[in-house]
Amino acid sequence: MKLWGGRFETGASDVFERFSGSLHFDKKLIDADCRGSQAFAQALERVGILSAAECTALFEAFEQIHVDAVQPEFFEGATDEDVHTLVIRKLRERVGALADKIHTGRSRNEQVSLDIRLWLREQIDTILHRLIGVMSALIPMARRYPDAVVPGYTHVRRAQAVLWPHYLLAYFEMFARDRQRFLETRARVNVLPLGSGALAGSGFPFDREAMARDLGFDSISRNSMDVAADRDFALDFLYAASVCMLHLSRLSEDWILYSSEEFGWLELGDGVTSGSSLMPQKKNPDSLELIRGKSGRVFGDLTSLLVTMKGLPMTYNRDMQEDKEPLFDAAAQLDASLEMLQVVIDSTRLNAAKPAAAAEESWVVATDLAEALARAGTPFHSAHQLVGRLVLESVNQGKKPSDWSAAELAAFAPEFTADMAKLLDPTEGMKTRALAGGTAPAAVAKAIDEAEARLQSWKR
Ligand code: ARG
């Protein structure tokens, strides 16, 4: 069955049918298609195209189709052009000729926009839930090691000491922004396109506000040509998914390194690692590597749709059918990656002595010393020079910070007062970073509480 054909003398070639058909992937939209069509049947009743009894018959038939669609044999042997065509064929099997009325004043161009919006809305809600799960897993890990000191890095060089919970909360903030981005995306997705027709607006005076209410949309679209041409909402989703995958990938990269023998900070659970078929000693971080790998794939999905849309003349073009597979793929990969990361976090333990030793034996305290000198009146530039010379001297003599006594420091330069020597311990200087957003233990304890309170409010 086709939704068109009167104008053609011969049927489509087999090759074209196979080439252009989208049912094998857009069947994912069947729930959305049925729900959208139910709301549309009600709209047709309101404008008098359907009687109340006809509307009820169609409504119930869509309900049944939607239920039947979970059976694998439902799609067996189907050669329909796309999911919208299949649903109408199934409708005709149930209600006969009455099915021919459902597409009155409606186009597949708006239907496909509607279905993707309904489907995406649900995906976004699932992802928001998973994001909360990942953020929730970070909190107990932060609380388990309230005073674990690690070197923070820039350029992969030890920079300044920070608390492990401070590091974890950095990711919490990234995921909190991801949550925000998905909520903003959801608002742009949650707009009713129905009533736009193929591109010019429907010729029937549908109550679009009522359809929006029936389908849980916040608002209605304002321009029918925009609806036919627009995939911004899909791109918004792919961008939000890409940035979120980027965060997952960076955390994965960190933890792959931190759990290596070279670092030895983290022990990943057996349940999220795998062995080697040849090397008996291996415990590989495959879960994290796959998350990192999948991030590239999701960026590809974003790029794919950007390039598909670029240069399309107004309004709908069949190219736009290529929107679905990247979208489905990105949603599935992001969902699976978030689920995986939460399990990884839950299974991971910090061997706090290792990073503490790394901080202790390096010059992560250099900034603390320079700032203490500045607080005591030495202009910062001179203080920086002075500590730089202290570090150079130490490197040349093979000394670490704790090898210096207060007397030796004072002998090196009189600007070093006795109380500055305690800053050679990385846990000391950290206490000065007590302003909001800093890594002082008190600031971090407060930040953990605040993060937890925000999480609670998001769960409500
Ligand atoms: N399967 C099509 C898609 O996903 C539905 C719209 C078809 N419209 C058309 N004018 N051929 O874009």
CATH number assigned to the domain covering 366-424: 1.10.40.30
Longest dimension (CA), the chain: 100
Q: Is 162 exposed, middle or buried (0-12, 13-18, 19+ CB in 10 A)?
A: buried
6: confidence class by pLDDT, cuts 50, 70, 90: confident
Q: What's the CA gap between 23 and 454, in Å, rounded? A: 42
pLDDT score of 11 = 87
Q: Is the pLDDT of residue 104 over 80?
A: yes
Helix axes 232-258, 108-144, angle to 10 degrees: 30
Q: What tokens does 315 get?
A: 């309004």
Token pair of 31, please? Answer: 């729930």
Say yes or no to pLDDT of 5 above 90: no
Is 80 exceeded by the pLDDT of residue 126? Answer: yes
Does 172 score more than 80 pLDDT?
Answer: yes
Confidence of residue 356 (pLDDT cuts 50, 70, 90): very high
Q: Rounded mean pLDDT of 245-260?
A: 98
What is the distance between the alpha carbons of residues 142 and 214, in angstroms, rounded to a whole number? 44
CA of 24 to the centre of ligand 1 (A): 14
**Whole-number Cα distances in Å, 73 to 67, 76, 93, 348:** 13, 5, 16, 43
Per the DSSP assignment, residues forming a β-bridge with 149 are 163
Per-residue pLDDT band at 302 (split at 50, 70, 90): very high
Q: Domain segments of the chain: what residues?
A: 14-101, 108-357, 366-424
Cα of 54 vs centre of ligand 1, distance in Å, is: 27
Q: Are 429 and 161 in contact (CB under 8 A)?
A: yes
Whether 271 contacts 362, CB under 8 Å: no
Q: pTM here?
A: 0.96
The architecture in CATH of the region 108-357 reads: Up-down Bundle (1.20)
* 363-397 pLDDT per residue, tens: 999 999 999 999 999 999 999 999 999 999 999 99
The answer to whether residue 1 scores a pLDDT higher than 80 is no
Asked whether 105 and 194 are in contact (CB, 8 A), the reply is no
Pocket test for ligand 1, best of 25, 108, 312 (most atoms within 8 A of CB): 108
Give SS3 for 226: helix
Residues of the chain with pLDDT > 90, as a percent, come to 97
Distance 426 CA to ligand 1 centre (A): 63
Which pLDDT belongs to residue 22? 98
pLDDT of residue 427: 97
Q: Which residues contact 368 (CB under 8 A, 6 or more apart)?
A: 160, 423, 426, 428, 429, 430, 432
Confidence at 3, pLDDT banded by 50, 70, 90: confident
Which residue has a Cα nearest atom 12 of ligand 1? 321
14-101 topology per CATH: Fumarase C; Chain B, domain 1 (1.10.275)
From the CB of residue 87, how many other CB atoms can be counted at a distance below 10 Å?
27
The pLDDT tens digits for 55-85 are: 999 999 999 999 999 998 999 999 999 999 9
